Amino acid sequence: MLKNYFKIAWRNLKKNRLYAFVNITGLTVGIVSCLLIGIYIKHELSYDSFNSNADKIVRVTMDYNHGTNAQQTAVTGTKVGPQFKRTFPEVADYVRLIKSTGVVGYNDRLFEEENVLYADPSFFNVFSFELLDGNKASALSSPDKIIIAQTAAKKYFDNADPIGKTLKVGEKNYLVSGVAKDAPSNSQIRFDFIIPFTALGASKQEIWWSANYTTYLLLKNKDQVQPLQRQVTNYMSTISKGELKMAGSQYLTYHLEPLTSVHLHSNLSGALEPNGSITYIYILVAVALLILIIACVNYVNLSIAQSAGRGAEIGIRKVMGAGKLQLFRQFIGESIFTTSIGVVLAVLLAYLLLPYFNQLSGKQLQFNALLDPVIITGLVALAILIGFSAGAYPAILLSNARLSKILKSGFSFTSGQSVRKSLIIFQFVISIFLIVTTVVIVQQLSYIRNKDIGYNKSNVIVLPVDYTMQPQVDGLKKVMANIPGVEGVASANNEPIDVKWGDGIDTPDGKVLTVNALPMDEDFIKTMQLKIIAGSDFNHTDVLQIDTTNQGKNFHYSFMINESAARALGWTPEQAIGKEISKGSTGKIKAVVKDFNFKSFHDPISPLLIFLDHFQTRNLFIRVSGNNTASVIPALAKLWKDRVPGRPFEYKFLDDDYDALYRTEQRTASIFSTFSILAIVLACMGLFAVTAYAVIQRTKEIGIRKVLGANVSTIIVLISKDFLRLVIIATIIASPIAWYVAHKWLQDFAYRINIHWWVFIVAGGSSLLVAAVTVSVQALKAALANPVKSLKSE
């Protein structure tokens, strides 16, 4: 019996090739969308779960207020880990981490490395990273040791054994004590090298402040997170008032984040790796389901549309004694058979599309992820679920048909038409929703790229430097400034696109303000084209004030603040000039700069302190005239090779780093654009097939109308108007839903666009146009047909 059902299903597919193509293509696209997005989501949800102690590890985040505004960050001082272990019995161990860049050398091989991790010796006790060679207990036991990751070992030593060999990092030599397996792709902690935390000068003292380190605690019991959080809050309240002598609204406290929730649920700055977002996971789930629903709607629509053509078959089966259950099983079987073909094709298509999906998502997912038992089980369940859900209504409709009605007037149901129209509306509601949200995302990204952020990020080359290069920086700047095409050279601690340095300032009259801080040289303001609205730029006289001789007794800061800092201190820009403030050492405010975006558009502009400091230089900024970039870079490379032989010439562009801040949004826009196109194509494929069937059903009517004098345009309007009306209704339904979702998404940005009314007109109009073209193809074919032939055959 089952074999017979499959034979009939196959014959029906061959007989109705157009409908079979639309159904199978739609289901394949829907399933492959779910499959690829499912692999991606599974990967995101699995972050850090490979650690055997994952449910007992928490990240400590810092929450503080110097008096006027609270700040939160994912980094802490050096004291948190050891002090919490000493104080709270619930803490089994801790590890402090800081990621750094560094020049790593072995013989003639020299590379700038971005994943140099400093970690306490407890690193392998807390986390479950695998050590391929070496002893976990002793690999980080002394400050002259280094662990190298598997891929990095190949890069420096080829196939030779790295153990016992010496690597130079910066100016220090380290003995390779272990080879670690590369960190899994679903780990927020990535490394190519691990150096003992004791190699840092900061390890020699324990302080609450100087928050530069990511601290993790290993708890004895997974159920102790909330009780420990309450203890930490009470303990830090005592510490703030006692040891730290904080008063009024000032405080310092810490929060505990479960390790496995950090990647998707935390958006704090200072993370070791860029976080994902649970919001975008929900968005991707919704998009995949919407595409799949469109494919299922096509199936239901076409199954209902084909029902009239199967009247004779159903009638004969009923005459021969087939019951409702048998007919129901047959049609459900056909549905599952069709879906199974879609699943097989989807797996093959997923294999081919995975590299492109990796580019779209920014991940490196492997094909073996498709062979995961969870994915395979999900596919089987999905095939059965789609088969039943998409086939149930047509199966019930067909199996419940009355024999007398079929034999008398054929197979036709008015209820099927209303359902079919409702499903077409639903398809276009989804398509228009995706179009509107895509347009809003693209507009917001365009706004971010083109908005005046307060400085000129274009045509700026960034060259990383380190402490060992401090004596050379001034000389390098002078020589670089003489290269044809170079308009300016400056140095600073951080790029102005994402200032992470947190600090505090106070005034003689007792005002205290929490600020972000940016150390720079006297050329930074003019090179980056920041706007001074009061006061004057730094100059050589200000440089002479940062005199560290005579035990620092001659040292004085020169400060600038932004408009937000001036407002927070209760001053106008003009009033701020000449005011004395302190950041450990005192100095006077020389200028107030116009507010500029020194973080992403997700964050509002907050108080910023700018101060002159040559000793904190971490980057050189070279502004190049737009037409000379190609000639300047080789000249810089030659100069660098001559003057800085111990460091490879590796540069980047400031505007590229700026774009990287919004990579998640860019990927979301790409995903939405891709799936919006898929949605509208699938919807139109279904509309095309349903229109083709409607034309066949109305062949006699069209023939009579033509004989009575109807022209081509009349016939096209006759067939098209009902379908196009459905698209208009879909636009009306989709618009408020799309507005609400887009509005909620935009609330995540401190600086955002307004959603314009014309977006909905464009989305509805483009859907209407595509639908009109789709319907008109079949309508025109029917209008041009010979009425004599159609009436004769009918």
The string of DSSP letters for 261-326 reads HHHHH---TT-SS----HHHHHHHHHHHHHHHHHHHHHHHHHHHHGGGGGHHHHHHHHHTT--HHH
Under the banding of pLDDT at 50, 70 and 90, the label for residue 409 is: low
Which residues is 145 bridged to in the sheet?
A: 175
For residue 377, what pLDDT is reported? Answer: 83
Task: Examine the pLDDT at 35 and tell me if it is beyond 80.
Answer: yes
Using CA atoms of 238, 242, 246, 248 in order, give the dihedral in degrees to the nearest 10: 60
What pLDDT is stored for residue 626 in this prediction?
A: 77
In percent, how much of the chain has pLDDT > 70? 87
Q: Is the pLDDT of residue 467 over 90?
A: no
Contact by Cβ (8 Å): 102, 113: yes
- pLDDT at 121 > cutoff 80: yes
Find, among 246, 269, 262, 270, the residue nearest to 64 by Cα: 246
pLDDT higher at 390 or 445 = 445
Q: What is the pLDDT of residue 6?
A: 64
What six digits make up the tokens of 519? 């150390």
Whether the Cβ atoms of residue 220 and residue 55 lie closer than 8 Å to each other: no
Among 23, 35, 47, smallest CA distance to 183 is for 47
Query: Which band of pLDDT confidence, cut at 50, 70 and 90, is reported for residue 382?
Result: confident
The answer to whether 101 and 112 have CB atoms below 8 angstroms apart is yes
- Alpha carbon distance 120, 140 (integer Å): 7
- For the ranges 122-131, 135-144, 212-221, 243-252, which has the lowest average pLDDT? 243-252
> 403 pLDDT exceeds 60?
no
Contacts by 419-422, CB closer than 8 A, 24 or more apart: 419/300, 419/304, 419/393, 420/301, 420/304, 420/305, 420/690, 421/722, 421/726
pLDDT at 183: 93
What average pLDDT score do residues 56-73 get?
Answer: 86
Rg (CA), the chain: 34
How confident is the model at residue 406, as a pLDDT? Answer: 56
- Is 70 exceeded by the pLDDT of residue 309? no
pLDDT at 591 exceeding the cut of 90: yes
Task: Let me know if 480 is exposed, middle or buried by CB neighbors in 10 A (0-12, 13-18, 19+).
Answer: buried
Name the percent of the chain lying above pLDDT 90.
38
Which range is least confidently modeled, 5-9, 346-350, 380-384? 5-9
Q: How far apart are CA 428 and CA 686, in angstroms?
A: 11
Higher per-residue confidence, 721 vs 53: 53
Does residue 323 surpass a pLDDT of 70?
Answer: no
- The pair of three-digit structure tokens given for residue 780, joined into one six-digit string: 């025109």
Within 10 angstroms of residue 349's Cβ, the number of other Cβ atoms is 18
pLDDT greater than 60 at residue 231: yes
The whole-angstrom separation of Cα 412 and Cα 693 is 13
Is residue 10 predicted with pLDDT exceeding 80?
no
SS3 1: coil
Q: Which two tokens stand for residue 365?
A: 């997912």
Tokens matching residue 357: 């999906």
44-58, 523-537, 672-686: least confidently modelled range: 672-686
Is the pLDDT at 317 greater than 70? The verdict is no
Tell me the average pLDDT of the chain. 84
d(CA 751, CA 729): 33
Query: Can you give the pLDDT at residue 199?
Result: 92
Q: Which helix (H) or strand (E) holds 79?
A: none
User: What average pLDDT does this structure show over 327-355?
Assistant: 82
What is the mean predicted confidence (pLDDT) over 6-11?
A: 67
Whole-Å CA distances, 340 to 13, 126, 191, 269, 595: 13, 46, 43, 46, 59
Can you tell me the distance from the alpha carbon of 762 to that of 169, in angstroms, rounded to the nearest whole number? 57
For 212, half-sphere exposure in the C-beta direction (CA atoms, 13 angstrom radius) is: 15
Question: How buried is residue 511: exposed, middle or buried, by Cβ count under 10 Å (0-12/13-18/19+)?
Answer: middle
pLDDT at 312: 59
Instruction: Please name which of 38, 9, 15 lies closest in space to residue 340, comparing C-alpha atoms.
Output: 9
pLDDT digits (tens, 9 = 90+) for 265-302: 887 866 678 787 888 888 888 888 888 888 777 777 77
CA–CA separation, 581 vs 562, rounded Å? 14
- What pLDDT score was predicted for residue 92? 96
CA distance 242 to 219: 27
Q: How many helices (H) and strands (E) does the chain have?
A: 25, 22
DSSP H stretches of helix in 600-662 = 629-643, 654-660
Residue 618 has pLDDT above 80, yes or no: yes
Quick count: other Cβ atoms within 10 Å of Cβ 143? 15
Asked if the model's pLDDT at residue 556 lies above 90, the reply is no
Query: What's the confidence (pLDDT) of residue 469?
Result: 83
Identify the pLDDT of residue 513.
87
Structural contact between residues 291 and 686, judged by C-beta atoms closer than 8 angstroms = no
**Per-residue model confidence (pLDDT) at position 335:** 77
Residue 471 — very low, low, confident or very high, per pLDDT cuts 50/70/90? confident
What pLDDT does 29 receive? 85
pLDDT digits (tens, 9 = 90+) for 126-138: 999 999 999 999 9
